[in-house]
Amino acid sequence: MHISGIKNRFSSDEYALSRLWVIVEAALEYFIAIITSGAYLAKITSALSFSDSLTGVLSSFVSLGCIFQLGSGFVFKGAKRVKGRVIAFQMVYQLLFVVVYLTPVLNAHENIRTGVFLAAFLLAYVLINLVRSQKNTWMLSLIDDKKRGTFTAKKEIVSLLSGMIFTYIIGSAIDAFELSGNASGAFILCAVVIFILNALHMITLFLTKEKPAEKAGEAGAKTGFKDVFKNKKLMSVSMIGVLWYVVTYSATPFYGAYQIGQLGFSMRFISILSIVYSIVRALVSPFMGKLADRHGFVKMAYLCFFVAGAGFLACAFTTPENGKILFSVYNTMNAVSMAGINSAILNIVFGYAPFEIRSQAIALNQAMCGVCGFLTTCLASSVVSRIQENGNMIWGMHLYPQQFMSVIAVILCGALLAYTYFGVIRREEA
């Protein structure tokens, strides 16, 4: 009876199976995101002798790359379907990270290895952002608007739980290679893993259907951005995401190097942190999804910003002496907050934007978020460098730069909470 019901569901809804592939696709993409960011990225940059501040700036280029979403109208101009171009760009983007992981083992001069790394890393984020907004619109169009919160929660749970296992395995493997004195083997392993994940990811995208109505119309490409700017309510809620990027990119890009360097965490311990993060986020995601479906993504995000601020406060007191305890507290609070924020930023814009300009609204919002996030990190990196040059001393106190930037993040988070409540929630309730 149960099996028959499942068959009837898939036969009556031609996009039901595609939604299943969306969940699998998100998990595979999450695996690649894990292995190409944070402490994993810091491993590569450390091997290439990059400074903490430069590593932070590179981490934030993920944010700046969002500005290239504004070019999506040109990439998809005249295209009746977006699927083919999304797949092509996505494949090249992920293969470039294979190159990124191979740069530390290249038998070449240090300057050449650095050049190859930067070219592959930066080009990867340019390419993915040229198609990201169209891909998001394609995937979200397959989901009932009244169930987006719940569906997003289910998708995140699968990604997080499977990512937890993936992180532990890959982290343990990297530690094993390094303990045996074969750091190059760890980089090669990661490159091979990304290549395999890329192949599997492409299969899921091929199997995901595209609704005929979701296409890049020429009129939308020409007038969409102008219509987005004219929509004051849409621009108002879009600022929530922009301000959040300012908050998080003032501090988090420097945490990866902090864990590897000053706090001295092993990759195994970092993997354990990631596992805890995944478990907590998976447990909280269903609650956040239901909260968003009942009260809206804005109110759900508002609650999450409170938790995020508390997490940054814990990180402000994190030192090598108490690092494993307090950074674990930050890690847990961050997991709770990101269980909602991660989906809220995109869904707020998607929900407020009229159907005909959704892709442009998402692209513009991500571009604004990206530019503001990157500029914030650039400013923060100069502060980080200055504190380090001063022997980690500020105002006569011994303070690591990551601690100071965490304090800044707490203050900025307070400003974000004020804007969300008085600028959006109160106005809608009036």
Question: Using one digit for the tens of pLDDT, what is the confidence trace for 117-160?
Answer: 989 998 998 888 888 878 888 888 888 877 877 888 888 889 88
Is the pLDDT assigned to residue 267 strictly greater than 80? no
Establish if 101 belongs to a structural domain.
Answer: yes
pLDDT for 214 equals: 44
Establish if 7 belongs to a structural domain.
Answer: no
Q: Are 330 and 265 in contact (CB under 8 A)?
A: no
Least confident segment among 351-355, 385-389, 414-418? 351-355
pLDDT for 415 equals: 97
Segment (H or E) for 318:
none
- The dihedral built from the CA positions of residue 277, 280, 286 and 290, taken in this order, carries a sign that is negative
- When pLDDT is cut at 50, 70 and 90, the band that residue 6 belongs to is very low
Is the pLDDT assigned to residue 416 strictly greater than 90? yes
Least confident segment among 41-55, 167-181, 270-284? 41-55
Nearest C-alpha neighbor of 87 from the set 208, 178, 179 = 208
Burial (CB < 10 A; 0-12, 13-18, 19+), residue 361, is: buried
Q: Are 420 and 302 in contact (CB under 8 A)?
A: yes
Least confident segment among 2-6, 203-207, 221-225, 396-400? 2-6
Higher-pLDDT residue of 93 and 61 is 93
State in Å, rounded, how far the first CA of the chain is from the last one: 50
**Phi, psi (rounded to 5 degrees) for 214:** -85, 90
pLDDT for 219 equals: 41
pLDDT, tens digit, 9 for 90 and up, residues 184-206: 899 999 999 999 999 999 999 99
Q: Are 392 and 212 in contact (CB under 8 A)?
A: no
- When pLDDT is cut at 50, 70 and 90, the band that residue 49 belongs to is confident
CATH number of the domain to which 34 belongs = 1.20.1250.20
Three-class DSSP category at 63: helix
Burial (CB < 10 A; 0-12, 13-18, 19+), residue 9, is: exposed
The domain containing residue 241 runs over which residues? Answer: 12-424
Average pLDDT over the chain, rounded to an integer: 85
CA 29/CA 19 separation, integer angstroms: 15
Establish if 3 belongs to a structural domain.
Answer: no
Establish if 62 belongs to a structural domain.
Answer: yes
Establish if 5 belongs to a structural domain.
Answer: no
Higher-pLDDT residue of 311 and 224 is 311
| % of the chain surpassing 90 pLDDT | 33
Nearest C-alpha neighbor of 334 from the set 359, 313, 307, 361 = 307
Average pLDDT over residues 109-114: 87
CA 273/CA 88 separation, integer angstroms: 34
CA 162/CA 375 separation, integer angstroms: 33
The token pair that represents 154 in the structure block: 């289910």
Domain count, the chain: 1
Cβ partners under 8 Å of residue 38, min gap 6: 59, 255, 256
pLDDT for 103 equals: 93
Establish if 121 belongs to a structural domain.
Answer: yes
Establish if 6 belongs to a structural domain.
Answer: no
Cβ partners under 8 Å of residue 389, min gap 6: none
Average pLDDT over residues 90-100: 93
Higher-pLDDT residue of 264 and 191 is 191
- When pLDDT is cut at 50, 70 and 90, the band that residue 11 belongs to is low
Q: Specify the pTM.
A: 0.72
Segment (H or E) for 393:
strand 393-394
Establish if 346 belongs to a structural domain.
Answer: yes
Three-class DSSP category at 394: strand
